[in-house]
Structure 1
Amino acid sequence: MGFVFNPSLFSPFTPYTLLLTCFVFLIHSPLADKKFIFAFFSIAILGFIIEVVGVKTGFIFGKYSYGSGLGCKFLNVPLVISINWAVLICAGIIVVSRIFANKITVLFLAAVLVTLIDVVIERVAPKLDFWQFKGGLPDLQNYLSWIGVAFFTSYFFYPTIIKGDRTVSLIILILQIIFFTFLWIFI
């Protein structure tokens, strides 16, 4: 509710909220399995590199730039953004893998799910100074690229990722959907 009534007061806490979400996700994941941690941070690092290339070239997602709403940036990309995408990608895979067994089906549906969450986030991102696309909203290239990025950054880590906690993953996905949908409607 604070975001609705006073976004400027609550928005600066966004990077910390995303880091806390990542912490909750990771402590409920198989931490003893170093492969899981490696997979998670590999997806985050790959995502960061892709974001840097995307911001610099406009080739991958279209022409966009990040504002200050997501905190500290390196190479014009907020450090927290790739952590959040890794959480969403992994959580999506964990949840979808409990419904479907085929690796390609799971990766594709999880990529679509994460991209649909991105569709909602895109509606409020400029208002919260997260990021802004040249000309307003992104085009189809952005969403197709996110499906590809989510699919391919996690492809090799699939057997490790699916070991994560389904309940926590589902809660994180639902909360992000509710939160950003609520913001989209009210701000």
Structure 2
Amino acid sequence: MPETTHPYQPAIPLQQRLKPYAFAVALGVLTIFHAVGFWGLLFSGEPEKFQRLTPMNLILTNVLLFSFHRRWNAAFLLFALVIVSAGFFAEVVGIHTGLLFGDYAYGESLGIKVLDVPLLIGLNWLMLVYTSGHLVNMIDMHWLIRAVVAALLMVGLDFFLEPVAMAFDFWDWQGGHIPWTNYLGWLGLAFLFQVYFQKAPIYKENRLAPYVYLVQAVFFISIWTLL
């Protein structure tokens, strides 16, 4: 008599079935949100509405980015806390003293502020350090050179970001002019953060991280060319 029974095969959990598509979905969402923001700020006729969505866009980008991070150990949590805190308080010092970056003030587009600095600024520093650090780690070179190159990538992105920030009420510079001290301060602080990133015993293989940097770069450079 032929065998009519089949061995039991457990159902594959939905999360596991969707896992191969997670990266493509995350990259697609990241690209779409930035494309919508690009259109909204420049062509919708109502840029103020899209300026108010900036905090949500920043939070979403970080959620997508760090959902691909592995090994959430004490070393990584300490790294994240140090970068977020140091980045935030560097901005507090900058706002209230004019040191580090120059004389500037934050607008309302980046959300809730504490000590005149948006709370999300620390998270933005973490995202920039993490993504640019991952991007340079794709190249085989000495860790110190990687730190220098990553710091330069951060300053390069800030070069295009600054005019966009002034145009859409992220922050503004005294007299409407971006001082050279801003880029020098960025370079020094970014280099220190990148040295920490390179030497910290954290997992550094987040496949989405380089794309987050590149999408941000395309976003700000594209707006900058049309201002």
TM-score range, shorter chain: over 0.9
Task: Pick from 66, 71, 79 the counterpart of residue 39 of structure 1.
Answer: 79
Q: Compute the RMSD of aligned alpha carbons.
A: 1.6
In structure 1, the partner of 2:54 is 14
Superposition TM-score, scaled by structure 1 size: 0.93
Q: For residues 1-187 of structure 1, what are the structure 2 equivalents within 5 Å?
A: 1-5=39-43, 6-160=46-200, 163-187=203-227
Q: Quote the Cα distance in structure 2 between the aligned partners of 1:108 and 1:97.
A: 12
> Between the two proteins, what is the percent identity of the paired residues?
33
- 55 and 98 in structure 1: CA distance in 2 versus 1, 3 angstrom threshold: same
Aligned length: 187
Moved over 3 A (4+): 159-162
**SS of the residue 1:125 aligns to:** helix
**SS of the residue 2:99 aligns to:** coil
For structure 1, the residue ranges without an aligned partner over 5 or more in a row are: none
Return the offset for 1:135.
1.8
Superposition TM-score, scaled by structure 2 size: 0.77
Q: Once the two structures are superposed, what CA deviation does each residue of 1:88-144 show, in whole Å capped at 9, x if it has no partner?
A: 111111110221431211111101101110111101111110001112232221101
Query: Which structure carries more relative contact order (alpha carbon 8 Å, separation 6+)?
Result: 1
Q: Quote the Cα distance in structure 2 between the aligned partners of 1:100 and 1:107.
A: 12
Q: Quote the Cα distance in structure 2 between the aligned partners of 1:19 and 1:80.
A: 8
**SS of the residue 1:132 aligns to:** strand
For structure 2, the residue ranges without an aligned partner over 5 or more in a row are: 1-38
Larger Rg: 2
Judge conservation of contact 1:70–1:130 (CA < 8 Å) in 2.
yes
Return the offset for 1:63.
0.5
